[in-house]
Structure 1
């Protein structure tokens, strides 16, 4: 499972390096007004955007700016930016080291260099979507102690795909060892549904917040997930995607 800000080597067969193909793909997405998720800070912050212009002579791609000045500033200060979209049922991802402020048709916009590569995954389960920031969701871990008692560790759910989740452990209580499996986890979804899942730690990064506090951010993979639970998660992802698209288009 790839993290938000990194595509691992196992995805290399799906990575496109041809500039002609990349420009053609991005142009097609632009012409169809395809919405993309722009993610920063390891996926903990995101905004829905779209491509406004592709300039091969300038080696640049221009995007809609974020709706708030604060979020725009966070994007401009980020050293790594990730983009994700589901286009024709194919997950499209690419990254940029830096975004620059610009003006497009007399309105604020953002500009990045044309990406040197793009990953195209035709497996729906790899599409990852950020969860609502205004109403944070949680994933609760029930951890068995050596004496047989239990600890309950509550984490924030940052994003979700049918392959796994991204979480924040604010108190840094979870064991960050890659490969560690947690058998008893409760995943919260926006319709007040809780599902039980088994999770394996695939990635852990210590992140320093603006307040100066440090937290651990994990990438976790679902293990032996029941078909009914997977179906519920896929319905949840579809619901989130529709809500975010509706919000971006001004319908809600």
Structure 2
């Protein structure tokens, strides 16, 4: 399952893809120099190996990786049709993959060898950063409800937004709090940017009591299979909110 999610990440985060060979080499070398651990996913969470970069060899177009002390796990890595890698560098998430990992010797010790990735994904903190949405004139998401929840399409105000999803307020408790439930064809009209339509999955639920003693429910929702152009629109809207906030702060200063 984790491997599938990582594949989806590599697909959905296309807009943050690094294609410069020089930049890829520099990033991988930094990961190796800082001894940053890398999660190597062969079959999702059921088969995860922690590795590290021993050396980047541009002349050979290869990356040398440490191998596991578990021989059977090493064999599964070598036999895999695709291996996914996930790590962080200075709090920036790095994702890449390889179609083939081979065994080799590095300074007399067993190691893995893979081709230098042609691309990788670099997700800076801003891409994960959640921006609060306006309170006075809230952005709303229209969510079509299934028949068992009353049917029809209902608007819900956003509390915040990131490139990974949104938080919404459900003060009438229309959606329930079923974690993992998907709602398809949800539409969000982003001011000055445009509309996006995507599936939302409820990831967490929090019941709150407001100052006026009324109850409200905040639901954290994840974008599922959001198209790349719409993901780019979300990023543009987040950037717009950031600029507006910074302008307000500058005015106060």
* TM-score between both structures, scaled by the size of structure 1: 0.51
Which residue pairs with 1:208 in the alignment? Answer: none
Q: 1:27 aligns with which of 26, 29, 46?
A: 29
Inter-partner Cα distance in structure 1 for 2:73 and 2:38: 16
Inter-partner Cα distance in structure 2 for 1:82 and 1:116: 14
Q: What whole-Å deviation, never above 9, does each CA across 1:191-228 have from its counterpart, x for those lacking one?
A: xxxxxx344399xxxxxxxxxxxxxxxxx954464499
Inter-partner Cα distance in structure 1 for 2:183 and 2:40: 24
Residues 1:123 and 1:58: Cα distance change in structure 2 (over 3 Å): same
1:71 lines up with 2:73 in the alignment: yes
Give the SS at the match of 2:7. coil
| Bigger-Rg structure (1/2) | 2
Note the C-alpha offset of 1:104: 0.8
Q: 2:99 aligns with which of 74, 97, 102?
A: 97
Q: Number of matched residues? A: 151
Note the C-alpha offset of 1:82: 0.4
Which residue pairs with 2:84 in the alignment? Answer: 82
Inter-partner Cα distance in structure 1 for 2:61 and 2:6: 24
Note the C-alpha offset of 1:115: 0.3
List 4+ stretches of structure 1 deviating above 6 A: 227-231
Which residue pairs with 2:113 in the alignment? Answer: 111
Inter-partner Cα distance in structure 1 for 2:72 and 2:126: 32
Residues 1:47 and 1:13: Cα distance change in structure 2 (over 3 Å): same
Unaligned runs of 5+ in 2: 129-147, 149-163, 166-174, 185-199, 209-217, 221-253
Q: Which has the higher helix share?
A: 2
Which residue pairs with 1:17 in the alignment? Answer: 19
Note the C-alpha offset of 1:57: 1.2
Inter-partner Cα distance in structure 1 for 2:37 and 2:127: 18
Residues 1:66 and 1:19: Cα distance change in structure 2 (over 3 Å): same
Give the SS at the match of 1:93. strand
Which residue pairs with 2:182 in the alignment? Answer: 200
* TM-score between both structures, scaled by the size of structure 2: 0.51
Inter-partner Cα distance in structure 2 for 1:230 and 1:86: 28
Inter-partner Cα distance in structure 1 for 2:25 and 2:207: 38
Inter-partner Cα distance in structure 2 for 1:230 and 1:50: 37
